[in-house]
Amino acid sequence: MFISAGLGLLISLYLGLGMLHEENLNVKSAVLHMLRDAEASAGVIVGGIIILFAHWYVIDPILSILVAILIAFGAWRIVKQTVGILMEGTPKGIEIDNILKTIRSVSGIQDVHDVHVWSITSGRNALSCHAILDGGMTIRESQNILRKLEYELAHKNIGHITVQTENGEHPHEDSVLCTDEESEHNHQHCKRAVWPIFSF
């Protein structure tokens, strides 16, 4: 029993710790599973030693409950991250104020509104927004601005952006962020796209 539990502990720790810093949600789930296996193996070893020398048999269900609690806490973190992706919540580590500052710092962008940042999958973030540009510029000039924006946001861990360009005369709400309340008004930027749109 001790030999098999010891081998299980070593193998689970080796595999789990080797992938501990992976960002992919599927890998995180696998790592969680392996680390919980390691905890179960450690529990078997500790419980076996206590029972062998102290004959305290109640330690077996106690350790089982502790391992189950640890599994529940680890699983909750995975479920929480998964729900965040499915609900298109702002990804962890993304600060909207910083993103807005970055967008507005790009030369040629006068202002921005209806900003939405979400995760396509774990580790891959996306952004959509409406950018106000000079209405007299050419498509080539606006493309250069958007390429610069793409470059700047890539350094903010946002790899895919969709930008609707407008001039200052285009009607829009005052809200900087894309909200469900705004979509209930006649101006429904959050629900439908209006040309021109540039997607990267």
pLDDT of residue 193: 36
pLDDT band at 27 (very low <50, low <70, confident <90, very high): confident
Question: Is pLDDT at 88 greater than 80 in this prediction?
Answer: no
Neighbours of 147 (CB within 10 A): 13
Task: Identify the residue with better confidence: 59 or 33.
Answer: 59
Global pTM value: 0.59
SS3 per residue for 153-175: HHCCCCCEEEEEEECCCCCCCCC
Q: In this model, does residue 190 exceed pLDDT 60?
A: no
CA distance 48 to 26: 33
Distance CA 102, CA 154 (A): 11
The residue that leads in pLDDT, 7 or 200, is: 7
What pLDDT does residue 144 have? 93
pLDDT at 128 over 80: yes
Is the pLDDT assigned to residue 198 strictly greater than 50?
no
Residue 166: pLDDT above 70?
A: yes
